[in-house]
Structure 1
Amino acid sequence: MSEEIDAEFQSKMKLDNDRINRLPDDILVAILSFLSPIEAARTSVLSSRWINLWKHTSSLKFDAYIGRAVDATANRKKLSEVERGKFVNRVNFVLQSHEAVTLNEFIIRYDISGSDKRRYDDYTLRVDEVTQWLEYASAKKVPILELNFSPKYDESLSYPGLTCAFPHEFLTRSTSVDFTPLKALTLKYIDVDGGAIEFFLRNCPLLEELTVHESKELSDVSVCGTSLVLKHLEICYCRDLKCVRVSAPNLVSLTVQKLEELVLENVPMLVELSLPWGFGEISGEKLCNAISCCNLQLEVLNLSVLINPEEGIEFYEFPEMPRLKKLVVGYRDLTEQSADLLPYFIRAAPYIQEFVLKLHSPSISTLKSTMSTGFPHEQLKVVKFCGYRAREIHVRLARYFLENFVNIEKLIIDPRPFFFTEQIPPVSSIPIENVRSRSREQLGAEVPERVELVIL
């Protein structure tokens, strides 16, 4: 009986293989494009027909993070050294073998950080390697380019200052560099400067998305031009960044972190804005000035509050945002002073339907002034509380929302750790399951029947 089953199974497998082999080459290449380049290359052993199919895939996405667990074991350092070298060699091998004339996307995600800061040079990419990858992207006329060298395994072992040098001289080769088809560009942990950003803006007439993270070379950035088609701009964690100037008529979303001043002009389409505020960041006055440039059209506002309690808080009247639908307020540390701002944030947006509160670290035990300041809101339907740790102050905040948001329909409690930035992970000794259980006990009696309680 078992022999009959085995024969039937082999017959089905042969039939399935025949069905695949009957497909035309262009369909098979399209299927292989969904695999990683390494996985696609392995199909060359199937038969003589498959030897070169992978070389014509339309997408090259090298992701060193896929398949790697977050781990901080004693063997991590030795393994990471070997794997880094193998990864770069695999990338270069595929690029040398690949034969497609053009590509739809070219993505490299690779952790250049190491667990031993003293051996800095062992973990950095050589400039000529980055140059080679940029040359390849230019030659293949890719519309989507991502060079992402950020740490992903264990945030606590990463070094925020560890970045890769950018080959600025490469951009001066005007005769050989062509990024005209580029539509989306992501550069993370690469030291691009303002000149490099201006180069891409000037020479990429189709560029719609630009993302830059962790560059030590950025101080002042200008993203200006009446002909720009740029829709999404994100510049984050560039610790020496002073000022960003934006004049982009098609810009829809803007995210900036770690800067002192934001100047907005001619942004009639801007509806989503994410900004920092507080110690070492944009002051209250400059924050209000930036919001005033787009307050009548904003639909989503995300504020990261980094108030230093010893410095005090300057309060400025927030301009009313009549079209705002979603307000997100994140606190690194919820203090007596910073909590006082919550009513004013919400009052400035009389028609918001969703409010999200994000808490990074354990909160203070009392919030006297805020708890005594009511701000009834009739439009709010959904409240999400991220970083809820079942503390007494968290219960009081949830109760305060339920009392003041008179038409609330859903309260979402998210006890999972909230990462305020990529470099500062939260620390908590309370297991998530315990927090979930305590949250149900604490809030079950607080939430009225008309409100849906969701605990993630």
Structure 2
Amino acid sequence: MYVSCLDFYAPEALDKVSPPEPWTKEYDILCKRERRKYVKWVNKVLQSHKALALDGFRIYFDLTKSSRQSIDKWLQYAIDRKVQRLELNLLEHGMFRHRSPDCYTLPVGFLGLRCGKSSDVGNPRAVIDFKSLKALSLKSVNVSGEVLEFFIYNCKFLERLVVHDSGDLITFKVSGPCVALKHLEICYCNNLKCLNVCSVNLVSLKTTRAQKLLLKSVPMLANVYANGLYHDIVGDVLPRLSCCLSTLEVLALGFFYNEATQLKVWRSELPQLTTLKQLILNISARGGKSLLRLVSLIRAAPNLEKLVIKLNWVEEINRRRRKLKKAVNYPFHHLKVFELSGYYGRTCDLELIKYFVENAISLEKIIIDPRKPCGFERLLMDWEIKEHKVARAHAKERLKGLISSHVELVIS
């Protein structure tokens, strides 16, 4: 009754509302019933809760604007107790965005704003005091740029802001050295036309709309995640990061991989990322063709210490054998850790591992993870658990003779 962190995450209930094939009327009835049960559960807990302050408050369930009154009350409850970390994750089935008209909308009345007008930013008449906030995360919640700017400029301790799947976010500007924000994450907001970040001491930035990014004077920016179409990474995304390439220590890129794409062009166009210590490649791929063309991209970071490749195959697993291909040898003098997620024992997986075993001179550890990269929490299906077990056994068998004894092999 006196805990300072309330985390309303219900994985079993979310598993029940996973969408069936085909969609049925009975499924809609099930969703409505589970939503009512979830709302009742949260209300019951809050009625008996006695703590006067909250460090954290998280709502994590498939909810829509139909639960607006309850969500409004929960928000008020958390803010009244000067919550420091607030999260609303209302994704459909815990995984997908709701249609924007169905999404819960953050009420501007809480902020004292008049329909989210930008003229009100910095001139708060808030009904509730949000100033204790240090971290705010909103997923599948409609929120405008003006409302987000209210939080940025009126919450002097707000260091982390996460917004996913907001249909109302069109433009958003963060500027000024007095802003406390250190970590900004704006993802899957498909209506976003402009994300302007200027003269702030941002440390990390993640966006899936990098083509809409305007970045200037961010001297502390060391960690960036960006994704886009494959050919856009060099032609559009990286040029937008040009002002911080000399300070980057961690860079994550997400794209769809096609072996036919001429990655050797990347090598000639990419700047040398001399300060980069960690490179993360989130790759969607089809088929079992070679991934060795990625080496041309990885070579742009000569001082790399950790390389993480996360593979998301968009078709069923295929372990057909073929002859191993080779890429031009290139010594990685500083690479100590190589991690491969989404390993299934395909020939292309083995090619990558073999290449870095032979070319990473200072390699100390290889981490193999058969789990498919996932951006959300969920329970695994029985067939997934079985497949992971098969992949782990395959890795132990195939990699034992491939990796030298001085390199630690970790199969997670």
Task: Place the TM-score, normalised by the shorter chain, in its bin.
Answer: 0.7 to 0.9
Distance change >3 Å, CA 249–CA 258, structure 1 → 2? closer
Q: Deviations over 1:66-87 (max 9, x none)?
A: 5547345988765543332133
Matches within 5 A, 1:1-150: 32-34=1-3, 58-59=4-5, 61-65=6-10, 68=13, 70-71=15-16, 80-95=31-46, 100-112=51-63, 124-150=65-91
Q: How many residues align?
A: 386
Distance change >3 Å, CA 245–CA 293, structure 1 → 2? same
Partner of 2:356: 401
State the Cα distance separating 1:220 from its structure 2 match.
2.4
- Please say if residues 111 and 127 of structure 2, whose CA atoms lie closer than 8 Å, have aligned partners that are also in contact: no
Partner Cα separation in structure 2 for residue 355 and residue 164 of structure 1: 39
Is 1:416 paired with 2:371? yes
Partner Cα separation in structure 2 for residue 258 and residue 441 of structure 1: 41
Aligned partner of 1:285 among 232, 235, 242:
235
Aligned partner of 1:319 among 271, 282, 285:
271
- Please say if residues 305 and 331 of structure 1, whose CA atoms lie closer than 8 Å, have aligned partners that are also in contact: yes
Deviates more, 1:296-305 or 1:445-454: 445-454
Partner Cα separation in structure 2 for residue 430 and residue 149 of structure 1: 30
Distance change >3 Å, CA 231–CA 367, structure 1 → 2? farther
Partner Cα separation in structure 2 for residue 334 and residue 375 of structure 1: 26
State the Cα distance separating 1:267 from its structure 2 match.
1.5
- Please say if residues 135 and 177 of structure 1, whose CA atoms lie closer than 8 Å, have aligned partners that are also in contact: yes
Q: Tell me the amino acid that sits aligned with residue 233 of structure 1.
A: L
Matches within 5 A, 1:437-448: 437-448=393-404
Partner of 1:455: 411
Distance change >3 Å, CA 366–CA 441, structure 1 → 2? closer
Matches within 5 A, 1:242-281: 242-278=193-229
Secondary structure of the residue aligned to 1:436 is: helix
Is 1:294 paired with 2:277? no
Q: Unmatched 5+ residue regions in structure 1?
A: 1-31, 35-57, 113-122
- Please say if residues 302 and 332 of structure 2, whose CA atoms lie closer than 8 Å, have aligned partners that are also in contact: yes
Partner of 2:104: 164
Partner Cα separation in structure 2 for residue 373 and residue 409 of structure 1: 22
TM-score, with length taken from structure 1: 0.73
Distance change >3 Å, CA 388–CA 97, structure 1 → 2? closer
State the Cα distance separating 1:207 from its structure 2 match.
0.6
State the Cα distance separating 1:192 from its structure 2 match.
0.7
Partner Cα separation in structure 2 for residue 63 and residue 324 of structure 1: 38
Distance change >3 Å, CA 241–CA 310, structure 1 → 2? farther
- Please say if residues 217 and 240 of structure 1, whose CA atoms lie closer than 8 Å, have aligned partners that are also in contact: yes
Q: Deviations over 1:363-384 (max 9, x none)?
A: 999999x833332211111111
- Please say if residues 62 and 91 of structure 1, whose CA atoms lie closer than 8 Å, have aligned partners that are also in contact: no
Partner Cα separation in structure 2 for residue 334 and residue 86 of structure 1: 40
Secondary structure of the residue aligned to 1:210 is: strand
RMSD, matched Cα: 3.7
Distance change >3 Å, CA 170–CA 311, structure 1 → 2? farther
Distance change >3 Å, CA 300–CA 159, structure 1 → 2? closer
Q: Tell me the amino acid that sits aligned with residue 451 of structure 1.
A: V
Partner Cα separation in structure 2 for residue 367 and residue 248 of structure 1: 52
Partner of 2:116: none
State the Cα distance separating 1:269 from its structure 2 match.
1.4
Secondary structure of the residue aligned to 1:212 is: strand
State the Cα distance separating 1:343 from its structure 2 match.
2.5
Q: Tell me the amino acid that sits aligned with residue 274 of structure 2.
A: P
Report % sequence identity. 34
Is 1:188 paired with 2:139? yes
Partner Cα separation in structure 2 for residue 421 and residue 78 of structure 1: 25
Q: Deviations over 1:347-370 (max 9, x none)?
A: 2221111111111006999999x8
Distance change >3 Å, CA 268–CA 453, structure 1 → 2? same
State the Cα distance separating 1:264 from its structure 2 match.
1.7
Partner Cα separation in structure 1 for residue 318 and residue 295 of structure 2: 18
Is 1:233 paired with 2:184? yes
Partner Cα separation in structure 2 for residue 62 and residue 429 of structure 1: 26
Secondary structure of the residue aligned to 1:352 is: coil
Is 1:377 paired with 2:329? no
Distance change >3 Å, CA 136–CA 250, structure 1 → 2? same
Distance change >3 Å, CA 306–CA 151, structure 1 → 2? same
Partner Cα separation in structure 1 for residue 44 and residue 404 of structure 2: 62
Q: Deviations over 1:43-62 (max 9, x none)?
A: xxxxxxxxxxxxxxx44x15
Distance change >3 Å, CA 414–CA 340, structure 1 → 2? closer
Distance change >3 Å, CA 282–CA 139, structure 1 → 2? farther
State the Cα distance separating 1:228 from its structure 2 match.
0.6
Secondary structure of the residue aligned to 2:269 is: coil
Q: Unmatched 5+ residue regions in structure 2?
A: 21-25, 114-124
State the Cα distance separating 1:186 from its structure 2 match.
1.0
Partner Cα separation in structure 2 for residue 187 and residue 284 of structure 1: 30
Q: Determine which structure has more spread, i.e. the larger CA radius of gyration.
A: 1
Aligned partner of 2:282 among 318, 322, 330:
330
Q: Deviations over 1:230-273 (max 9, x none)?
A: 11111112122233221253321111124423222221111111
Higher relative contact order (CA 8 A, sep 6+): 2
Partner Cα separation in structure 1 for residue 319 and residue 244 of structure 2: 34
Distance change >3 Å, CA 307–CA 455, structure 1 → 2? closer
- Please say if residues 261 and 286 of structure 1, whose CA atoms lie closer than 8 Å, have aligned partners that are also in contact: no
Distance change >3 Å, CA 363–CA 196, structure 1 → 2? farther
State the Cα distance separating 1:390 from its structure 2 match.
0.6
Distance change >3 Å, CA 333–CA 73, structure 1 → 2? closer
